[in-house]
């Protein structure tokens, strides 16, 4: 199997042995290929081809908007599956670790809105579709207890506009890293920790 035939789920292979052999705290960073265009149909296995017809070429101009959106949505379905599997893995580690997951996309994607495709339009004029990205947090009950996080408060943070500017400080906060470069005002969970 060549690397272009691999899907993001391969990142989960071997995590159990990494966790089993870990000494002390453990931070894992999984960098997914995700739903990167224009080859949306290559980002998920056939089992996740729920929405059809799909655009099965990188030449998006040869596809209808419906085909492009369907291929993209199948990729989102697969990403949801990957995140669910990641959470299941984290739950399986409850006996040894207080587990948490933070997922964030690096950019949004235009799927034909206003004649635009993919991403990369300069920020000041980029459409909302390229700027708005998902961020998902999952925290185990043991993690929220150990780190004193108020789940209701954290859920309320979703109403605020956040950006990638907060990612660095939020990760430091989640890991309880003490450093002079940390800014609590840029940490999503700071107001929610005891």
Distance CA 143, CA 12 (A): 21
| Other Cβ atoms within 10 Å of 151 Cβ, number | 11
Distance CA 182, CA 148 (A): 19
Distance CA 120, CA 37 (A): 12
Inform me whether the pLDDT recorded for 2 exceeds 60. no
Classify domain 3-146 at the CATH class level. alpha beta
Q: How confident is the model at residue 3 (pLDDT cuts 50, 70, 90)?
A: very low
Task: Report the DSSP pairing between strands 110-111 and 117-118.
Answer: antiparallel
Q: How confident is the model at residue 1 (pLDDT cuts 50, 70, 90)?
A: very low
Task: Report the DSSP pairing between strands 135-139 and 100-104.
Answer: antiparallel
Q: What average pLDDT does the segment 23-30 reach?
A: 91
pLDDT digits (tens, 9 = 90+) for 92-150: 999 999 999 999 998 999 998 888 899 989 989 999 999 888 889 999 999 999 999 99
**Which residue in this structure is represented by tokens 């999984």?**
30
**Which residue in this structure is represented by tokens 């691999």?**
6
Distance CA 157, CA 164 (A): 15
The segment(s) of the chain belonging to CATH 3.40.720.10 are 3-146
Give the pLDDT score at 6. Answer: 86
Residue 35 contacts residue 109 (beta carbons within 8 Å): yes
**Which residue in this structure is represented by tokens 């453990």?**
26
SS3 110: strand
Residues above pLDDT 90, as percent of the chain: 79
Distance CA 89, CA 70 (A): 29
Q: What average pLDDT does the segment 54-78 reach?
A: 96
pLDDT digits (tens, 9 = 90+) for 39-64: 999 999 999 999 999 999 999 999 99
């Amino acid at each position: 199997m060549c690397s272009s035939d691999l899907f993001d789920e391969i990142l989960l292979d071997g995590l159990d042995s990494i966790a089993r052999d870990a000494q002390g705290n453990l931070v894992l960073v999984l960098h997914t290929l995700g739903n990167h265009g224009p080859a949306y149909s290559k980002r998920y296995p056939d089992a996740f081809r729920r929405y059809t017809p799909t655009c099965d070429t990188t030449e998006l101009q040869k596809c209808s908007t419906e085909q492009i959106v369907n291929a993209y949505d199948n990729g989102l379905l697969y990403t949801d599956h990957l995140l669910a599997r990641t959470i299941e893995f984290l739950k399986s580690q409850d006996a040894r670790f207080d587990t948490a997951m933070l997922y964030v996309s690096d950019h949004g994607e235009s799927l034909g809105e206003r004649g635009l495709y993919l991403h990369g339009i300069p920020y000041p004029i980029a459409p909302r579709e390229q700027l708005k990205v998902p961020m998902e947090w999952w925290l185990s009950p043991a993690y929220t207890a150990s780190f004193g996080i108020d789940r209701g408060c954290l859920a309320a943070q979703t109403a605020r506009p956040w950006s990638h500017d907060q990612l660095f400080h939020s990760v430091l906060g989640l890991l309880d890293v003490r450093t002079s470069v940390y800014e609590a005002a840029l940490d999503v969970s700071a107001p929610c920790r005891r």
